[in-house]
Amino acid sequence: MEKATSPFRLPQIIDYTENAISDITSSFHAPRTILTTNCEIAYAWGALPQEIEKIPLCRRNELLARMCVAVSCGLFDSGINYVWNATIIFLRQKIESFGLPFIAQILEKDFSESKLNDMQDSELLDLTLKLNIISEDAFFFLDQCRNIRNNFSAAHPPIGIINGVEFIAFLNRCVRYVLGSDAQNDLHGIDINECIHAVKADIFSEEQKAEWIRRLKTTCDAQRQLIFPILHGIYCDPTSNESARGNAIQICKDSVSFFSNKVISNLLNKHSEYIANGDTKRHNASRSFFTHIGLLHLLSEAERHSIISNALQRLWVAHLELNNFYNEKPFAEQLMHLVLNTEVPNSTKPQLVETVVSCYLGNGYGVANSAEGIYESIIRNFSPQEIKEMFSIFKKNGERPKIVGALAEQQFSKAAKLVVADSVPVSVKNDYDYWKNK
């Protein structure tokens, strides 16, 4: 964006324009008071350069020149009209730059250049907000400017006259939020059909995945609200091939950091629809989707209980198999991802503690070394309630036959040393001290 190399200056013309204004009003036998005072003109004229300097050279067009001429004569109502027109024209250009076909997809109706030009200013502001071209703060202040323009400018019969301070405030808002702003300059629309076609084609390369994530990040949230639920649907569709499901989940997983509340709400609504419709296959796939992208905590406690409990059962089955030393690690990793990234329901904690600690103790043939570090990570993060469960389930020798053999005792002693000492409840402090010092 081209910037000025020297400060913007306006000529000193106030002394000359005052005489001209007085002569013109006298010619019509009108009082000088039909226009703003010379003092107000001088204030606005002196403040103009500071505001115009904030506008890039490429946007300092003839409308802003006309604005300056109007201000020099005290015609603030005309000045408002010129700067507002410059603002609306620039917003139209930003909308065209986003992509009219993409906006048609968002609005779910035909949207052409002629329809853009026919939009009322209020509709245009609504659309730019929807496209994230302007922020909510900008919308608030620009909508106020729209009302001022409609009621106090030369565009319509005005209901009053504004002074120099009010004019400069109007100009400042147009400059700050549109004419001098580049905050949303990199927004571009996405062809949703092209995105779906790409996802359903071959498995993405790293470069291809990165490009689609970049496009999603630089489009408006209204498009993201449409695209991410579509990707969720592709992943949950039992007829989708594995390439499409893999592409969909990878994009969502790497994009979750810029999910808005509305995107998350749309995803949860789709998840609820599967439950309400009794669509078991899609419901189970949707559970897996939320688990993979790290949003399991958004599901209900009952669903989290079911997901974690099933993961614990799969781990326990693997632990009991003869080749558990080789097969146990993937199940342990999946469990760790679940319990360290979401709140474990109270109803699941006893099963979690018993399964993890039992696997950590090993069996008659030893310990699964590949999974041992994973269990230690989980045990280190045990809550006070889970620590209490641990020492309640695995009592000292003789009280419960849970810890059998020298290896199991050695492993449980190591487990006791892993928990945070300050988190140990008083009710199991004696058991903790016994095993820690064993």
Q: Give 403's pLDDT tier (boundaries 50, 70, 90).
A: low
Q: Which residue type sits at 161?
A: I
Beta bridge partners, 363, equal 366
Whether 288 has a pLDDT exceeding 90, the answer reads yes
pLDDT digits (tens, 9 = 90+) for 21-39: 777 888 888 887 777 888 8
Least confident interval from 47-61, 117-131, 171-185, 350-364: 171-185
- Longest distance between any two alpha carbons in the chain, whole Å: 114
Q: What does the pLDDT read at residue 289?
A: 95
- With 0-12 / 13-18 / 19 or more C-beta atoms within 10 angstroms meaning exposed / middle / buried, residue 83 is buried
- With 0-12 / 13-18 / 19 or more C-beta atoms within 10 angstroms meaning exposed / middle / buried, residue 117 is exposed
Q: What does the pLDDT read at residue 152?
A: 87
Q: Give 401's pLDDT tier (boundaries 50, 70, 90).
A: very low
Whether 183 has a pLDDT exceeding 70, the answer reads no
Distance (Å, rounded) from C-alpha 186 to C-alpha 198?
23
Q: How many residues does the chain have?
A: 438
Q: What does the pLDDT read at residue 397?
A: 46
Tokens of 162: 């504004």
pLDDT digits (tens, 9 = 90+) for 82-113: 999 999 999 998 888 888 888 888 887 888 88
Distance (Å, rounded) from C-alpha 308 to C-alpha 42?
72
Distance (Å, rounded) from C-alpha 221 to C-alpha 132?
7
Q: Give 267's pLDDT tier (boundaries 50, 70, 90).
A: very high
Q: What does the pLDDT read at residue 436?
A: 87
Distance (Å, rounded) from C-alpha 105 to C-alpha 195?
13
The pair phi, psi for residue 33, each rounded to 5°, is: -75, -5
Distance (Å, rounded) from C-alpha 286 to C-alpha 267?
9
- With 0-12 / 13-18 / 19 or more C-beta atoms within 10 angstroms meaning exposed / middle / buried, residue 373 is exposed
Whether 399 has a pLDDT exceeding 80, the answer reads no
CB 368 within 8 A of CB 390: no
pLDDT digits (tens, 9 = 90+) for 319-346: 888 777 778 899 999 999 889 888 899 9
Greater pLDDT, 198 or 1:
198
CB 399 within 8 A of CB 358: no
- With 0-12 / 13-18 / 19 or more C-beta atoms within 10 angstroms meaning exposed / middle / buried, residue 180 is middle
pLDDT above 90 covers a percentage of the chain that reads 55
∠417-422-428 over CA atoms, to 5°?
Answer: 70
Q: What does the pLDDT read at residue 160?
A: 82
The rounded mean pLDDT for the chain is: 88
Q: Which residues contact 204 (CB under 8 A, 6 or more apart)?
A: 198, 212, 246, 247, 250, 251
Tokens of 165: 């301070």
Q: What does the pLDDT read at residue 395?
A: 66
3-state secondary structure of 399: coil
